[in-house]
């Protein structure tokens, strides 16, 4: 019988692609999502790609009773991949209490349930924001965790501490935190992709929406950074590579290949691209000229971040395979599909 895996936030950007990767490997998936930053249509996209409709529970993980009832209803869950969280840096600065409640209480309630189970496996969606502006590049897993630049970043740091502390006293709990760099792109079928509600907080949806004429121009935050072209540098990783890494990490736990009961891995390409390089990569694959202008730096933005992926490459036997051009091409295909859909609904 196939193993049953819970994916929280499974209708979100990275969550939905991971659900597809899990189903394609034969896992039975149950999704929890409260649809606060996602759409039920994503479920249809997942089903279209895999020809399997995952079980879905519309549930808010902040409701402790509802979480308890869920685990009573699904006693045979063998692994949890936890994506459900608020994730906009700027919004977290404006509304810190929402972020602490949504990102930390929910984690505690899940771990309390897993503590009672026999052999739970737990994958945590963490972030390179835990490193802040690292002293050395590329960033390894042993780089010091710096004081967070935002409440969002702080919830990832505290989240990791909560898991690590819990693993020390619950020896049968096995967990991995995956610290990812900058996820971009979409499924090659264009049936699922990044679907920001309102103004995008991330660069690539802003690029594709500008190219599609939904936005007049793209704002590039700062051109006076100490980098070759003055713009920030990030490690852009294709969401398909990222989804595959979650399956690999889960299987490491399910096969009892882990080293200790709590591990941490960076997920990136190991290469940094500036904002201007990302724009050029998009223009190259789409044939679209982008309107953009430089505006003031954004609070909380670090200058340069890219991953040392040696540990993930050697230990997980995982490596990013897609290029930034591949990711931009898939993101543009996804945006065009959204445009066609909105025209047909008019």
- Which residues contact residue 91 at a Cβ distance below 8 angstroms, ignoring those fewer than 6 apart? 98, 99, 152, 201
Cα–Cα distances in Å, from 241 out to 182, 192, 220, 228, 268? 12, 15, 26, 27, 9
> How far from the centroid of its chain's Cα atoms is residue 18's Cα?
10
Q: How many of the other CB atoms lie within 10 Å of CB of 225?
A: 19
Taking the alpha carbons at both ends of the chain, their separation in whole angstroms is: 45
Q: How many residues does the chain have?
A: 346
Q: What 8-state DSSP symbol labels residue 314?
A: I
Angstrom distance (rounded) from CA 241 to CA 321:
7
Read off the tokens for 310. Answer: 């040696």
Q: What are phi and psi of 98, to 5 degrees?
A: -60, -45
Contact 172, 120 (CB under 8 A): yes
Angstrom distance (rounded) from CA 106 to CA 121:
17
Question: Catalytic one among 99, 152, 180, 306?
Answer: 152
Phi-psi region of 14 (alpha: psi -120 to 50; beta: other; left: phi over 0): alpha
Contact 250, 7 (CB under 8 A): no
Annotated active-site residue 27? The verdict is: no
The catalytic residue positions are: 152
């Amino acid at each position: 019988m196939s193993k049953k895996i819970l994916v929280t936030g499974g209708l979100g950007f990275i969550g939905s692609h991971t659900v597809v990767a899990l189903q394609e490997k034969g896992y039975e998936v149950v999704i929890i999502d409260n649809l606060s930053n996602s759409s039920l249509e994503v479920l249809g996209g997942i089903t279209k790609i895999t020809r399997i409709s995952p079980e879905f529970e519309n549930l808010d993980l902040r409701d402790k009773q509802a979480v308890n009832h869920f685990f009573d209803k699904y006693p045979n869950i063998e692994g949890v991949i936890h994506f459900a969280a608020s994730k906009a840096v700027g919004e977290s600065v404006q509304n810190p209490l929402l972020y602490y409640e949504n990102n930390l209480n929910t984690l505690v309630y899940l771990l309390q349930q897993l503590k009672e189970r026999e052999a739970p496996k737990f994958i945590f969606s963490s972030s390179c924001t835990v490193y802040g502006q690292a002293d050395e590049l590329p960033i390894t897993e042993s780089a010091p965790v710096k004081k967070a630049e935002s409440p969002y970043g702080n919830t990832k740091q505290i989240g990791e501490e909560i898991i690590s502390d819990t693993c020390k006293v619950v020896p049968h709990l096995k967990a991995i935190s995956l610290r990812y760099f900058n996820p971009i792109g979409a499924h090659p079928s264009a049936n699922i992709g990044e679907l920001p509600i309102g103004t995008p907080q991330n660069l690539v949806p802003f690029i594709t929406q500008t190219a599609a004429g939904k936005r007049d121009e793209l704002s590039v935050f700062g051109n006076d950074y100490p980098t070759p072209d003055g713009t920030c540098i990030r490690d852009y990783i294709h969401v398909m590579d990222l989804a595959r890494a979650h399956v690999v990490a889960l299987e490491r736990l399910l096969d009892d290949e882990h080293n200790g009961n709590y591990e941490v891995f960076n997920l990136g390409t190991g290469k940094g691209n500036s904002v201007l390089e990302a724009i050029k990569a998009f223009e190259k694959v789409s044939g679209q000229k982008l309107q953009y202008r430089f505006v003031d730096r954004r609070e909380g933005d670090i200058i340069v971040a890219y991953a040392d992926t040696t540990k993930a490459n050697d230990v997980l036997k995982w490596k990013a395979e897609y290029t930034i051009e591949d990711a931009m091409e898939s993101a543009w295909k996804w945006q065009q599909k959204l445009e066609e859909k909105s025209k047909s609904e008019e």
